[in-house]
Amino acid sequence: MPSSSPILLFVKAPIKGQVKSRLAAGLGDEAALELYKTFVSDILDTIEKTANPSTIFFHPPEARDAVANWLGPERDYLPQEGHDLGLRMANAFATIFSMGSSRAVLIGSDIPDLPESILREAFRSLDDHDAVLGPARDGGYYLIGFRRDTFVPDVFRGIEWSTDRVFAETRLKLEQAKRSIHLLPEWRDVDTPEDLRELKDRNKWTPFAKSRTMKYLFATEVAEGTEQC
């Protein structure tokens, strides 16, 4: 049974050539896969510092064994269900609320250095707001959350996914549904080689410097290797 306030983490099965395609274009499939694994592990480490357990929603739906073998059998796993990202997110919230959770936030796997403080702020904000959104620098969002009584499935419909309009369109839908919104600090997803270089540069002297992701970057110098790409 999920906690009353879980963090829903969307992940893909760790299959070479099927994760982080824009990173892979500059780094190669093997490095992109290894980075993806470090991203997810670092995010889970951050979640474990909060009071909120994680429920891992995996894709594709038949990949449960592969994901559980990767991340450990002790975690809560549920499949992503739906023909596009919006429907999969809407179904994840609907499922978790139907199982008794009173509030939940959903994040993806491309924000490895997102700090614990932002996750805590997201849940606190739901005490007096209907929804919470974390805007990403590329025009999308890295986090969305609701209480069970304020959940609006329609905010996931009719969105042009993977465009710089995702955040604006989602915010408009929430406003049209008369939902009060708490906006979190802007954060930068790591989708491209440029994002990866910026991640490394901004974290050289932060606590994230000790993370799996940063150790991999320092050991392989893969971020520097993308300069010519």
Where do the domains of the chain lie, and which CATH numbers do they carry? 7-221 (3.90.550.10)
Q: What is the pLDDT of residue 31?
A: 95
Is residue 92 within 8 Å of residue 80, measured between CB atoms?
yes
Is residue 185 within 8 Å of residue 15, measured between CB atoms?
no
The backbone torsions φ and ψ at residue 220, rounded to the nearest 5 degrees and listed phi first, read -105, -15
Q: What is the pLDDT of residue 139?
A: 96
pLDDT along the chain (229 residues), means of 10: 81 96 93 97 96 95 97 97 96 97 97 97 98 96 98 95 95 97 97 94 95 94 56
- Which is it for strands 141-147 and 76-79: parallel, antiparallel or unpaired? unpaired
Hunting for tokens 């499949």 — which residue is that? Answer: 79
The backbone torsions φ and ψ at residue 136, rounded to the nearest 5 degrees and listed phi first, read -95, 155
Q: What is the pLDDT of residue 51?
A: 86
Of 178, 184, 226, residue with least CA distance to 201? 226
Q: What is the pLDDT of residue 1?
A: 41
Q: What is the DSSP letter of 67?
A: H
Cα–Cα distance between 122 and 132 in angstroms, integer?
Answer: 6
| C-alpha distance from residue 66 to each of 12, 98, 111, 131, 198 (Å) | 10, 26, 22, 33, 31
The backbone torsions φ and ψ at residue 52, rounded to the nearest 5 degrees and listed phi first, read -110, 125
pTM of the predicted model over 0.85? yes
Q: What is the DSSP letter of 183?
A: E
